[in-house]
């Protein structure tokens, strides 16, 4: 994932050179949060899309809120509590959250990518 931003940047250059037109909008998977910064740098609109379910998107979007309300770790015995403070997730239990939100490897590349994506989505 470290080379993904540079690969996207090069792809934009190649597309422009091959078509004779400049890229006018970035449409990317929301997972590629860095595309927002690239779009802003180039004065382009960014249109993120998400093909998975709404709960899978809400988890990274509300990671900071969930961590603020529940803390990180220390959830033993609380696994059946619901996220009634989170829009659209009031029936979701702590145990239903994907790894990387409150438990598991919070600093893995994948967890950090999802967290960052959730922070930059409009």
Paired tokens of 103: 């438990």
Would you kindly state where each structural domain of the chain is located, as residue ranges?
4-49, 54-120
CA 2 to chain centre: 16
Supply the pTM of this predicted model. Answer: 0.70
Task: State how far the Cα of 4 lies from the Cα of 116, in Å rounded to an integer.
Answer: 15
pLDDT at residue 75 in the model: 86
Task: State how far the Cα of 112 lies from the Cα of 101, in Å rounded to an integer.
Answer: 10
**Mean pLDDT split into 10-residue runs, the chain, 122 residues:** 89 92 92 92 94 84 94 88 92 91 90 92 80
| Overall size of the chain counted in residues | 122
pLDDT at residue 121 in the model: 87
């Amino acid at each position: 994932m470290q080379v993904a931003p540079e690969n996207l940047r090069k792809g934009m250059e190649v597309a422009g050179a091959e078509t004779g037109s400049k890229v006018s909008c970035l449409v990317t998977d929301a997972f590629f949060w860095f595309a927002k910064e690239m779009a802003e740098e180039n004065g382009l609109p960014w249109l993120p899309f998400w093909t998975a379910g709404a709960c899978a998107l809400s988890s990274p979007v509300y990671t900071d809120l969930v961590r603020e309300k529940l803390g990180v770790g220390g959830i033993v015995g609380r696994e059946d509590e619901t996220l009634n403070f989170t829009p659209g997730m009031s029936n979701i239990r702590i145990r239903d959250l994907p790894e990387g939100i409150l438990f598991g490897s919070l600093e893995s590349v994948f967890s950090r990518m999802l967290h960052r994506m959730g922070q930059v989505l409009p």
